[in-house]
Amino acid sequence: MNIDHSIPGYSTVNDWPRKPQTPFSVKDCGRYRDGGPRGGSFYIDIIDSNEHIYSFFFDRMLGRLCWGSGLENGEDAAFIQKGSTLEKEAFEMIESAVHNLMSINQEEITRDHILNLLEHARKYTNL
């Protein structure tokens, strides 16, 4: 995985650190307490069949799908490059994992809630 830091404050990524293997499931998800027009950043960790974890989050301002932990001390947070294969496959991966979601032990986080976040993020990507 190569994270492009050439524009300060606007890191982008366009490839996987390793190719994920189906089936996918949601390991964890939830909302950060950072506020913003979209209600705050929302993160989702997906686990593949090899037990590798892939972390994504929706940014708090525009709701764009991003890569990485999104935590203040993390170095991996980046916007997913628009039009990249990673972008297309990340949406498919999250949708697949969410459809397999039975329940998550957090208040009011449902399949529909996560799918609505994905749908909003698609407005930026035109997928």
Unique residue bearing structure tokens 């525009």: 62
Structure tokens at 64: 């764009």
- pLDDT digits 0-9 by tens, 64-101: 888 986 555 566 788 898 889 999 999 999 999 988 77
pLDDT at 19 over 90: yes
pLDDT (0 to 100) of residue 90:
95
pTM of the predicted protein model: 0.79
Unique residue bearing structure tokens 């294969």: 85
Asked if residue 37 has a cis previous peptide bond (ω within 30° of 0), the answer is: no
Domains in the chain, number: 1
Specify the length of the chain in residues.
127
pLDDT (0 to 100) of residue 110:
74
Domain that holds residue 106: 3-125
